[in-house]
Structure 1
Amino acid sequence: MTDSVSTDIQRAQPCYIQACGLLSALGHDEQSTVAALKKNQSPGMVSVYDQLNNGKPTVVGAIHEELQSLEHLPVEYRSRNNQLIATALSQIAPQVQAAVSQFGPDRVAVVAGTSTSGINRSSEALQYMEVHGELPEDFHYHQQETAAPSDFVSYVLRLEGPSYTVSTACSSSARAMMSAQMLLESHLVDAVLVVGADTLCPLTLNGFNCLEALSFEPCLPFSVNRSGINIGEAVSVMLLGRDKPEHGPVIALLGAGASSDAHHISAPHPEGEGAIRAMQCALDQAGLTVEDIGYINAHGTATPLNDAMESKAIYQLFADKVPVSSTKPLTGHTLGAAGAIEAAISYLVLKHQLTPPAQLNDGQRDPEIAPILLQQQQPLAKPRILSNSFAFGGNNMSLILGREDRA
């Protein structure tokens, strides 16, 4: 283990997770997601071919459950992305309403993270126009705008607090978590709804295919045979506050670290400089050392460059002392939702005291990457989890979640 990287970050006050609603390929709610995590199997990882221009089948993380209808809302709010959000919100409606009643609608903020928002509606609308010569009546440009997720939540809940969307590619919703922490610490608001949502669509599938970053088989993080990502769709909605929840386990966001190495528009810095700084910033903000972390949920995209970089960065700080795995074989890479859904998985591991997910791959570890300790069946030895999200452009995020005593 090497010396820590100095970041001059002041320790932050923890903010507490009051409730979490989620959907992904793993499950349609907390109960089904926990059941899938215990089996380390994902029912929603399926093979599709109709969304790729070359007609070649690829594996995606899909949500098949029935979603909340938005037909009663104005047309600009009707998108699958917003349906995902509405369905996750319905899972935590009592806690959200209690927060609004306690603090007032002007003291509850919404910070969303997304990459493609509702752009699938535009893809569908253009396909319709090719056939009918005009856009469909139920299409509105606002459905695809980046601000759509936060606007939607504020609209349906009649909230009057700060409301905005962060879009920094695959670190978007992890950065939204950090933004929520700062809003609470500044006392601008008393509660924050953190939303991470992205939806499957041909644009992203074909875009990553053109980048030659798409795997046509189940992805293999840290394997010598890894060839690319599986894209997925997911949503997580967390309610954060400054006080510990009245009931149940106490799970907190302890620290958040951000960096931007700006090495390349799509390739990560080969030495992981920005990743190291983000992880160290999160540790410093949480007032923790590397010895305090019990598990690392890696970004782990299964691309050759990311896994080589991330393993090197993790090894520099943690050596081979902390179990590491990527949960993307269970959810797919959910792009702008990745930070939030992986934080939600970390939350569930802590809340239900689960064994962290073992690393799914073909068992053929890449001998060229740094020798980090890949998670197999190791119980969570320490109740603190580091979750990484690294994005295009060198936009890096690390979050630390921890379970605390109620006293």
Structure 2
Amino acid sequence: MSAAASITGIGLVTPAGIGIEDNWSAVAAGRSAAAHDPQLAGLPTDFSCRVPGFDADALLGRRTAWRLDPFTRFAMVAARQAVKDAGLDTRTWDGARVGVVLGNSLGGTHTMEEQTRRFYEDGPDDVSALTVPKSMVNMVAGYVAMDLGILGPSLVTATACASGATALGVGRSLLASGLCDIVLAGGTEAALTPATVTGLSRMGALSERREDPQRASRPFCAHRDGFVPGEGAAVLVLEGPGHARVRGASAYADLVGFGASSDAHHATQPHPEGQGLIRAAQDALRDADALPDEIGHVNAHGTSTPLNDSTEARALRKVFGTGPAVASTKGVTGHTLAAAGAIEAAYTALALHHQTVPPTANVERLDPEVDIDVVTGQARPARMELAMSTSLGFGGHNAALVLKAA
């Protein structure tokens, strides 16, 4: 078993709200964030889950915000929240012993679409000199490091919708290796742009429930028809338990297991039997020195797509039987793509902290093929020592995290 990493701070910028309190309130109530989106008007999919009330100028300062694409703005705000929540002082920490690992998949789509439009409509002289540094995937870790004075490793993981979970696994490895005492790990995505959403729609990945967007994201429901695109970020402060104790920090939960695998099957479809997810989950359990029946809750990837949910349910049944209480919080947030694994890891830590499993929103009738214990209707109090969060991504990426109550 690898060394545990204590989660001592959480920052959340999601469709469920900004900050821990708003997020947990919405998730525990199963309150969907989906709504018609004026920025997507006229498109085949004209609804989404956007971060509400996000004022980048107010949160970051105008001089900082204008230089950043939204995916970096989200991450920077979440990172600042997490550091504050952990009780850390960036003016006094040893920045060389601090690292940052953030997951992202699509980079600065807002910047690239806008600058491409300018190029073709107005010519090259109107293209911003900031186009490349605003849109490069790696720059989110670079900008967060600059903002907080982080001098240790700054990395970006890109495993599609598993990116945020992968980042947490890599972050824990940096602690275990001795390179870092503190790692800010998480994920971010801001890809609710016309071209990106249209591309997902053309793939057949998105819900077509335009008449009722708030009920469109319905993981594991018999009547699901695709996911609702979302955006956001989550950053978690990871520390070695000893380091956290020395400075008197409390933890929401400990990250004690990580597993990752590849399907090697299809560009966008999961392995039909979920073999990659099964391996990742079993590896995470082995890493945590835990047995399947010790897991009290699984925060599932649960995208609300026909293929993912039935495949994931079969995989979870294979690993756990019908034991743990399963929930997908994407019924609330929609699918935040690369940010999803980190957001859901944060929700898993909060579920352990509150000893409560949030409900899966909008499930009118459970799919008969989903033979697992899906929590629906309302939150369920539960006595839990261990929980798992699962993530899958295009390209056949799978990741699983095991968290332990602190």
Q: Distance in 1 between matches of 2:240 and 2:226?
A: 39
Find the counterpart in structure 1 of residue 222 from structure 2.
Answer: 224
Tell me: CA distance 1:203–1:164, structure 2 relative to 1, closer, same or farther (3 Å). Answer: farther
Contact 2:8–2:249 under 8 Å retained in 1: no
Cα offsets for 1:311-339 (capped at 9, x unmatched): 00000111112111111111110111010
1:238 to 236, 261, 270: 236
Whether the aligned pair in 1 keeps the contact of 2:163 and 2:338 (CA below 8 Å) is yes
1:206 to 185, 189, 198: 198
Shift of 1:223: 1.7
2:371 match: 371
Shift of 1:197: 0.6
After superposing the two structures, state which structure 1 stretch, 124-133 or 394-403, moved more.
Answer: 124-133
- Alignment of 1:263 with 2:265, yes or no, is yes
Shift of 1:202: 2.4
Tell me which residue corresponds to 1:4.
Answer: none
Deviation readout 1:110-139 (Å, 9 max, x if unpaired): 111011122211112223444433434474
Residue 402 of structure 1 deviates from its aligned partner by 1.5
- Give the distance between the partners of 1:305 and 1:392, measured in 2 at CA: 13
Give the secondary structure class of the aligned counterpart of 1:393.
Answer: coil
Percent sequence identity over aligned pairs:
32
Query: Aligned with 2:256: secondary structure?
Result: strand
1:249–1:159 Cα change, 3 Å: closer
Do 2:252 and 2:350's aligned partners in 1 also have CA atoms closer than 8 Å?
Answer: no
1:64 deviates by: 2.8
Alignment partners' CA distance in 2, 1:195 and 1:203: 26
Contact preservation (8 Å) 2:10, 2:86: no
Report the AA paired with residue 72 of structure 1. Answer: R
| Residue 383 of structure 1, CA deviation | 2.8
Contact in 1 for aligned 2:197/2:229 (Cα 8 Å): yes
For normalisation by structure 2, the TM-score amounts to 0.90
Cα 1:104–1:56, aligned 2, differ >3 Å: closer, same or farther?
Answer: closer
Structure 1, unaligned runs of 5 or more? 1-10
Q: Which residue of 1 aligns with 2:212?
A: none
**Is the 8 Å Cα contact of residues 252 and 349 (structure 2) preserved in structure 1?**
no
Give the CA RMSD over aligned residues. Answer: 2.2
Structure 2 residue matching 1:22: 3-state secondary structure = strand
Identify if the C-alpha distance between structure 1 residues 370 and 97 changes in structure 2 by more than 3 Å, giving closer, same or farther: closer
List alignment gaps of at least 5 residues for structure 2. 210-215
The one-letter amino acid paired with 2:310 is: A
Q: How many pairs are equivalent?
A: 390
Q: CA deviation at 1:249?
A: 4.5
Structure-1-length-normalised TM-score: 0.90
Correspondence 1:15 to 2:12: no
Q: Distance in 1 between matches of 2:176 and 2:55?
A: 37
Map of 1:67-216 to 2, 5 A cutoff? Answer: 67=56, 68-69=59-60, 71-73=62-64, 77-94=67-84, 98=88, 100=90, 104-134=94-124, 135-137=126-128, 139-199=130-190, 200-216=192-208
What amino acid maps onto 1:179 in structure 2?
V
Which amino acid is the alignment partner of residue 270 of structure 1?
A: P
User: Residue by residue, what CA displacement relative to the aligned partner does 1:276-301 show, whole Å, maximum 9, x if unpaired?
Assistant: 01111111111111111111111001
Amino acid at match of 1:46: A
Distance 1:386 1:225 in 2: 26
Q: 1:363, 1:73 → 2: CA distance?
A: 45
Give the residue type in structure 1 aligned to 2:362: N
Whichever residue aligns with residue 284 of structure 2, its letter is: A
